[in-house]
Amino acid sequence: MYWQKDIETMPISALQALQLQRLKEMVRRASTSSYYQQLFQEHGVTVEDLQQIDDIHKLPFTTKQDLRNGYPYGFLTVPKDEVVRLHSSSGTTGQATVVFHTTHDIQDWANLMARCMYMTGARKSDVFQNMTGYGMFTGGLGFHYGAERLGALTVPAGSGNSKRQIRFMKDFGTTILHIIPSYALHLLSVFEEEGVDPKTDLCLKTVYLGAEPHSEHTRRRIEGALGVKAYNSYGLSEMYGPGVAFECPEQQGLHIWEDSYFVEIIDPQTLKPVSDGEEGELVLTTLTREAMPLIRYRTRDLTSVCSEPCACGRTHKRLSRIKGRSDDMFIVKGVNVFPMQVETVLMSIPEVGTNYVIELDTEEEIDVMTVKVEVQSDFFLGDVKGLKALQQKITAALRSEVLFTPRVTLVEPDSIPEAQGKAVRVIDHRQQH
């Protein structure tokens, strides 16, 4: 059922005709939202301007800041009582962005995920263990619904608790895992501690890696240690979540599903399109979304596109491994973090001084974020008990904001070197091997 051969191997000309048809429908639908109605009027564009697919360049871009400006319901194109789900994320200013879904959207998302998983060999007979977070984070729910749509036995284990994860793998005969790369590497040491040989003691055959960038070396190491094939996945909450692009067994780039997304690569400085194979910023347009279509959304993710035929037979373009972002966001433990989020938390605490720095390291293959915080001089002269309480207070506040526990180090006033010019808030010691 999920080998949708007619779609996945559609001739390029037919695929482009389908994209143009769906793009026109998306622009009509988007025009009913208060935000796009005003935006299109300001730019003087209408659906009649779209005579061929390249005419998409006549439409304005949409950015993360636009989503903040349209919060909460400015992008909605259906009555509120038709919305069945929202996913929300915070951003640089603390202002949330939100994406809405109808029942159709959720089903469409599940189908795309099932298509991705089926492409890699997942079947109804598999036992799928989902080892990522649920909730506002889209990674957990996206894979969960895809696995259930395939009919696989789905184990919603969530993140963490490694010994329990291993117990589940052994007891239920898990064949497929979804896991973030850094945790997968950490799990290798836990296997060793527990005396478990994944190749002989478990039934694993496939691992899906997502939520954070990782190198080819990391992927191959995971494959070798677990005796599996590990597939890279790509998605973002603004485009449902995971399922935007996925590797096929050839592992020569991630097929981006062009019947659901129109893909552009632009120069982030000039905003002009770049040639196939040239690195730039990924821009995506939804082609099937009901509740909240997004037109020319600037993802800030840096990649390149390959339109050469793939040996698997699928005709949809492929994305290269995401290289990073064109802004200052960084990813720790699969969570998107902006320096301004940390600053907002710190500056709301009276005892905190005026300077801080975020240091990112890798310890035993796991990302660690340490926030060094200068303390007000009168408070730093206090007792050790008071400093410990402040450290715990800051840690708890940051954990509430970024959804994982950072390390917090309190330092003396003026002990962090002042930068000449723009402050250097993030020092990233991590290296992808």
Tens digits of residue pLDDT in 40-78: 999 999 999 999 999 999 999 999 999 999 999 999 999
Residues of the chain with CATH 3.30.300.30: 338-428
Kind of pairing, strands 318-319 and 254-256? antiparallel
The rounded distance, in Å, linking the Cα atoms of 296 and 208 is 28
Q: What confidence tens digit (pLDDT) does each residue in 282-328 have?
A: 999 999 999 999 999 999 998 999 999 999 999 999 999 887 666 66
Q: What is the pLDDT of residue 89?
A: 76
The rounded distance, in Å, linking the Cα atoms of 142 and 242 is 6
Mean pLDDT of 134-138: 87
Three-class DSSP category at 297: strand
Mean pLDDT of 228-256: 95
Residue 433 has pLDDT above 90, yes or no: no
Structure confidence at residue 1 as a pLDDT band (50, 70, 90): low
From 338, 365, 428, select the one nearest 215 (Cα to Cα). Answer: 365
What is the CATH architecture assignment of 1-327? 3-Layer(aba) Sandwich (3.40)
At 286, phi and psi to the nearest 5?
-70, 140
Fold classification of 338-428 (topology level) = GMP Synthetase; Chain A, domain 3 (3.30.300)
Residue 32 has pLDDT above 50, yes or no: yes
Q: Which of 325 and 399 is assigned the larger pLDDT?
A: 399
Residue 265 has pLDDT above 80, yes or no: yes
Tell me what the pLDDT averaged over the chain comes to. Answer: 91
Structure confidence at residue 352 as a pLDDT band (50, 70, 90): confident
Mean pLDDT of 325-332: 76
Q: Which of 326 and 128 is assigned the larger pLDDT?
A: 128
Q: What confidence tens digit (pLDDT) does each residue in 170-223 have?
A: 999 999 999 988 788 778 878 988 999 999 999 999 999 987 767 777 788 789
DSSP 239: G
Contact between residue 321 and residue 282 where contact means Cβ atoms under 8 Å apart: no
Residues of the chain with CATH 3.40.50.12780: 1-327
Mean pLDDT of 144-150: 97
Q: What is the pLDDT of residue 92?
A: 43
Residue 93 has pLDDT above 60, yes or no: no
The rounded distance, in Å, linking the Cα atoms of 320 and 313 is 18
Residue 423 has pLDDT above 70, yes or no: no
**pTM, 2 dp:** 0.79
Mean pLDDT of 416-421: 63
Residue 118 has pLDDT above 90, yes or no: yes
From 211, 317, 301, select the one nearest 262 (Cα to Cα). Answer: 317
From 269, 268, 240, 295, select the one nearest 62 (Cα to Cα). Answer: 295
Percent of the chain with pLDDT over 70: 94
Q: What is the pLDDT of residue 216?
A: 79
